[in-house]
Amino acid sequence: AAPADAPPADAAPAEPDAEPLAGDEPPADDAHDAPHDADADHEPAAETGALDSFGWNDERAPRRSSKLGGALLIAGIAALVVVALIVVINRDGGGDDTSTMSTTPSAPAAATRTTAGRGASAQDTVVLQQVNLTPPAGGDRPLGIAFLAIRDGRPTVAVQVQDMPVNGQDDVYALWLQATDGSAKFLGYFPGQVPATGKTSVSAPLPANTGRFAKVVLSRESISAGRTASTPREIVLEGTIRVNRTG
């Protein structure tokens, strides 16, 4: 389908059609081994069928990696767990480092700050795979990590990045899935501007045909272009999805 027209640069981000998901501040280093129990009576969704239908039942894919350092890995796991929590939207333009994805680009001044409540059970989320995100030309900055997961029966991607260059008034970061033939599926824009710390996190629902894509891609796009591109313009980070691809 043809991409939709983008709104003016000073417009606030539009909500995606699918229910957006959100990240949160990472907990202490031992938090990833201690799931919350406030929602423990909630039964997990039918996970096995969901894994098979999305082509993510690759048991060989490692759940952990030390390449990006323990702090980033723990932060990534924390972001994955909190996508199951209730999201509170506060449009105060604060310099937050957590965001929900938007289907339309916005100027940095219209940033959406997102925080999440506590208390959801980690049993609601099944981590399927970790994807390390690195610059396509090599190097160690910026870096990112993406987790593919099933949350309450819904496929989800949660991404955290560090050392990201702060985007300007005329550009915005976007998240994609990309196939081996170069075709891509747009997942959403990062609302607003990356904080000066260079650290931010986003999460979004994944499409039913995720199994046909080879990479998770983060790109820099132009707001002034006026339309969402069909493929990434300037790839900043990318990582290979280790799955049994279909299609």
HSE toward the beta carbon, residue 62, CA cutoff 13 A: 8
Q: What CA–CA distance (Å, rounded) separates 2 from 91?
A: 30
One-letter amino acid of 93 = G
**Which two structure tokens, joined as six digits, stand for 76?**
């990534």
Does residue 192 lie within any of the structural domains?
A: yes
Does residue 5 lie within any of the structural domains?
A: no
**Which two structure tokens, joined as six digits, stand for 39?**
């929602």
Does residue 69 lie within any of the structural domains?
A: yes
CA distances from 54 to 157, 170, 180, 183, 217 (A): 13, 36, 17, 18, 19
Does residue 53 lie within any of the structural domains?
A: yes
For CA atoms 104, 105, 111, 117, the dihedral sign is positive
Does residue 186 lie within any of the structural domains?
A: yes
- Count Cβ atoms below 10 Å from residue 134 Cβ, excluding itself: 17
Does residue 246 lie within any of the structural domains?
A: no
What spatial distance separates the first Cα and last Cα of the chain, rounded to whole Å?
18
Contacts of 70-73 spanning 24+ positions with Cβ under 8 A: 70/29, 71/29, 72/143, 72/145, 72/160, 72/162, 73/130, 73/145
Q: What CA–CA distance (Å, rounded) separates 143 from 26?
A: 17
Mean pLDDT of successive 10-residue stretches along the chain, which has 247 residues: 40 37 38 38 39 42 40 46 30 40 46 34 74 94 93 88 91 94 92 88 90 95 81 95 64
Does residue 4 lie within any of the structural domains?
A: no
- Count Cβ atoms below 10 Å from residue 60 Cβ, excluding itself: 5
- CA 73, distance to chain mean position in Å, is 14
In the block, which residue shows the tokens 């300037």? 234
Predicted TM-score (pTM) of the model is: 0.57
Q: What domain range includes position 52?
A: 31-36+43-240
Peptide linkage before 142 cis (omega within 30 of 0): yes
What domain count does the chain have? 1
pLDDT at residue 151, rounded to an integer? 81
Does residue 6 lie within any of the structural domains?
A: no
In 3-state terms, what secondary structure has residue 141? coil
